[in-house]
Amino acid sequence: MIHQISNDEFALFEGSVKWFQKYYGLTNYEIYCNLQSCKGNRGACEVDLHSRIAGIALNKRYPIADNDNLVEDIKKCAFHEIYEVMLWRLEELATEKTTTPKQLEDARHEIIRIHENTVFHELKDRIE
């Protein structure tokens, strides 16, 4: 199902991003959140490593299963995108080698999913 994100839900996402940024000590990045179309994904991220500016988006037409908890899912999306920021440099460096970008993307998402299924469950209720 596709859910139209409300202003309150976006505020939850933005607050969760800021919470995870502080939790992980990513104070060397300026992180901006926005609401936009994300091509069927829940969120998206772009990072400029030189300026240390990251743009994190929440899909305004949010794909979610009927039985999923929307609030928890939005927090998980923020968690996922913060990990994108943390791992961006790894991908940038690795693309200079013979490894393909698809292999690196898959490896990055494997690490994120592991943390979503472990660390996220310990942290989700601590987000203010």
Angstrom CA distances, 19 to 11, 60, 75, 92, 116, stand at 12, 21, 10, 25, 16
* The pLDDT of residue 13: 98
DSSP 8-state code for residue 17: H
Domain boundaries, the chain: 2-126
Say whether 71 sits in a helix, a strand or coil: helix
Distance CA 51, CA 109 (A): 24
pTM for the full predicted model: 0.82
Q: How far is CA 66 from the centre of its chain?
A: 21
Digit-coded pLDDT (tens) for 4-30: 999 999 999 999 999 999 988 888 899
Distance CA 126, CA 78 (A): 14
Residues 6 or more apart from 81 whose CB is under 8 A from it?
17, 43, 44, 45, 56
* Lowest-confidence region among 2-6, 85-89, 115-119: 115-119
pLDDT at 61: 93
Q: Does domain 2-126 have CATH number 3.40.390?
A: no
Write out pLDDT tens, residues 41-84: 999 999 998 999 999 999 999 988 888 999 999 999 999 999 99
Please give the structure tokens belonging to residue 118: 């472990």
Whole-number Å distance between alpha carbons of 43 and 30: 18
